[in-house]
Amino acid sequence: MSNIRKAFENGKAFSPFIACGDPDLETTAAAVRSAVENGADLIELGIPFSDPTAEGPVIQGANLRALKGGVTTDGIFGLVRELRLDVKVPMVFMTYANVVFSYGAEKFISACRDIQIDGLILPDLPYEEKEEFLPLCRKYGVDLISLIAPTSENRIKMISGEAEGFLYIVSSLGVTGTRSEIKTDLDSIVKMVRESTDVPCAVGFGISTPGQAEKMAGICDGVIVGSAIIKFLERYGREAPKYIGEYVKSMKDAIR
């Protein structure tokens, strides 16, 4: 069984997204530990990329700050290796196909196994092209996480039928970022997913308040939040982990 399933074993899962290296890797480590101590069930770690096409301005800003600060993929691998001394919840990388290609796909994915990264999310990898990475992910025991968007429609059953780890359901059209209201008919999407797989599904993109999290948790198995957390790093810098912990607790309490 996928290690990622453990995140969904104790009720609804909460997964924060944290951009590695914003403002530095020491702060990233502190933010991860603070999130886990306050109830995070799964950690999504962003490997910065210069052209993060799925991201809105908040996470784009985090990518640029991290890259300007000199963060590297090898540095992030070292961060995860150190985190794994005490952080036991599942962790996944979210990055872009070019990051994996430029590092060397087999070298990258085998390193994920070595440092105990459980899954890989590549938002710019179309389902039809996943064979580019899937054999290597299976070889090294890393789940390649599939995404379902509001535009997936007649592809939903096909994508979910082959899902691994968990299914990332994109709540809204467009890029990441907080939204005042989520209007997508997620009930219908999740119903189709449930007919095709027992792999857990989590909703991300646009969720920022406990009320939104509670509503989403009523529909699916977990909630992913990125931009709202990155705003704490943008505002408080190295002091952000304390605020991130408090925020994670409020969100986790909302979905229990």
pLDDT of residue 1: 59
**pTM (global) more than 0.75:** yes
8 A C-beta contact, residue 25 and residue 79:
yes
Domain boundaries, the chain: 3-255
Whether cis (ω within 30° of 0) applies to the bond prior to 23 is yes
- For residue range 149-184, what is the model confidence (pLDDT) as tens digits? 887 778 898 999 999 999 999 876 444 444 344 446
Q: What is the mean pLDDT of the chain?
A: 91
Residue 250, C-beta contacts closer than 8 angstroms, at least 6 positions apart = 210
Question: 3-255 — its CATH code?
Answer: 3.20.20.70
183, containing H or E segment = none
Q: In whole angstroms, what is the distance from residue 125 CA to residue 99 CA? A: 12
Which residue bears the tokens 């989520």? 182
Residue 178: per-residue pLDDT: 43
205 within 8 A of 193, measured Cβ to Cβ: no
Alpha-carbon gap, residue 109 to 112, rounded angstroms = 5
Q: What's the rounded Cα separation, in Å, for the pair 103 and 93? A: 14
